[in-house]
Amino acid sequence: MTTSQIIDVLYQAMWTAALVGGPIIIASLIVGLLISILQAATQINEATLTFVPKIVVSALILVIGGQWMLGTLLTFTRTIFALAESVTR
């Protein structure tokens, strides 16, 4: 396995991680920001108020995009196994 192949695999791993984790992180960030603005406007300083909406939004994103996320991870895993098989031959 050459250095360029290793770099390519690492690049694919980082890209796959960003694709799979990105929607959940971005949605949680947006919800957290909106709740923080609401808390600042109403002066409600309840620490647990931000967690429940973030968990609900994360669960919704997993339900809506879970099949696509799993497909993306399976494609990456198959690629890695095929590459490992070609290296051992």
Domain count, the chain: 1
> Which tokens hold the place of 53?
């909406």
* Residues above pLDDT 70, as percent of the chain: 100
Does 48 have pLDDT greater than 90? no
Band the pLDDT of 86: cuts 50, 70, 90. confident
Instruction: Please give the residue range of the domain that contains residue 30.
Output: 3-88
**Three-state secondary structure along 17-80?**
HHHHHHHHHHHHHHHHHHHHHHHHHHCCCCHHHCHHHHHHHHHHHHHHHHHHHHHHHHHHHHHH
Quick check: pTM over 0.85? no
5: pLDDT confidence band, cut at 50, 70 and 90?
confident
Q: Specify the higher pLDDT residue, 56 or 5.
A: 56
31 close to 57: Cβ distance less than 8 angstroms: yes
Mean per-residue pLDDT, 11-38:
95
What residues contact 44, with CB distance under 8 A and at least 6 apart?
38
